[in-house]
Amino acid sequence: MAVSIIILGEYLLMNEKVSVIAIDGPAASGKSTVANLVAKELQIPYINTGNMYRAVTWYFLQNDVKMNGLTNLVVESLLSDFELCYQKNDHGTFVLSVNGRILDFEIRSPEVAEHVAIVATNALVRKKMTELQRYLGGQQLVVMEGRDIGSVVFPNAKYKFFITASPLVRAQRRLNQNGETFSNATLESVAADIATRDKIDSEREIAPLKQTEDAVLIDTSDLSIDKVVEKITSCISM
Ligand code: CDP
């Protein structure tokens, strides 16, 4: 199974254009909301790859892993008992489970947000997630959202968008999301946390967050959600 995923991934990388709508961008830029709505409108699956890295982070936290001392040996041993599944439920929505446990609000916690960027710098974690993403994207046209979808996972994606917003707008949006920030959070502390995560994501060695030249840049600071969805769907022909 693992081998067939890798072959499929390489096959897709070599081919002309891959049927993926890649939506990348920094933290709290609104890309999840938009990606979800675009997928609904086009009636195709939506895959949030940030949730995959969050699920790994949640699992590491459950196992009391010291995040600053992540050695390959530790990660390898943890991942050998880690099974991440991405399956459609009865309503056609993808649900994520780790070792049979369905994860939802657990992976949106501020503790997970605090550590996820460090976990996402790990080469073994990225390799495993990238393989799964290439496998999922090889099935049919999907909306896939993350940091490196248009740059590394599917450099030949048919459609690429880079969604951003000003740091202040992003901090305000994150603060408005119930349960995703610590109870004593302020606009300043949330802005600082987001800036730290952006820095780690943009400066990491493997698959850093970046806008590719062929991606359509959308600054959502002053745009309504509907307008952003409209901008994206108007570029897509199915
Ligand atoms: O929802 P939010 O914008 O805060 O972030 P997310 O999309 O849930 O992603 C959480 C973290 O996962 C990011 O800060 C990255 O460190 C990592 N990530 C990544 O490295 N590559 C991806 N394709 C998606 C997420």
Please indicate whether residue 163, judged by its CB atom, sits closer than 6 Å to ligand 1.
no
Measured between alpha carbons, how far is 66 from 2 in angstroms, rounded to an integer? 28
The residue type found at 69 is: G
Is pLDDT at 28 greater than 50 in this prediction?
yes
Kindly indicate the confidence band of residue 91, based on its pLDDT and cuts at 50, 70 and 90: confident
* Residue 198 Cβ contacting ligand 1 at under 6 Å: no
pLDDT band at 15 (very low <50, low <70, confident <90, very high): low
**Lowest-confidence segment of 10-19, 48-57, 202-211 by average pLDDT:** 10-19
Q: Is the CB of 134 under 6 A from ligand 1?
A: no
Which tens digits make up the pLDDT trace of 122-162? Answer: 999 999 999 999 998 887 899 999 999 999 999 999 999 99
Question: What are 217's strand-pairing partners?
Answer: 162
Q: Which of 51, 52, 57, 116 to mutate to test the pocket of ligand 1 (most atoms within 8 A of CB)?
A: 116
pLDDT range class, residue 1, cuts 50, 70, 90: very low
pLDDT at 48 over 70: yes
Residue 2 has pLDDT above 70, yes or no: no
Going by DSSP bridges, is the β-strand pair 101-103/94-98 parallel, antiparallel, or unpaired?
Answer: antiparallel
Ligand 1 pocket mutation pick from 152, 201, 220 by most atoms within 8 angstroms of CB: 201
What are the angstrom distances between the C-alpha of 18 and each of 38, 42, 172, 202, 228? 18, 17, 35, 25, 23
Chain center to CA of 53:
7
pLDDT, residue 185, reads 94
Question: What local confidence, expressed as pLDDT, does residue 238 receive?
Answer: 78
Of ligand 1's listed atoms, the one at least distance from the Cα of 28 is 3
pLDDT of 8 over the 80 cut:
no
Q: What does the alpha-carbon distance between residue 49 and residue 149 come to, in Å, rounded to a whole number? A: 9
Provide mean pLDDT across the span 93-109: 92
Greater model confidence, 4 or 40:
40
Residue 105 has pLDDT above 70, yes or no: yes
* pLDDT given for residue 6 in this prediction: 41
Mean pLDDT of 76-82: 93
Verify whether ligand 1 is closer than 6 Å to residue 170 (CB atom).
Answer: no
The domain spans of the chain are 17-233
Parallel/antiparallel/unpaired status of strands 94-98 and 157-164:
unpaired
What CATH class has 17-233?
alpha beta
* pTM for the predicted model, two decimal places: 0.91
- Band of residue 219 on the pLDDT scale cut at 50, 70, 90: very high
Query: pLDDT by residue (tens digit) across 175-191?
Result: 998 889 999 999 999 99
| pLDDT exceeds cutoff 70 at 113 | yes
- Mean pLDDT computed over every residue of the chain: 90
Distance CA 133, CA 142 (A): 11
The structure tokens listed for 106 are 């657990």
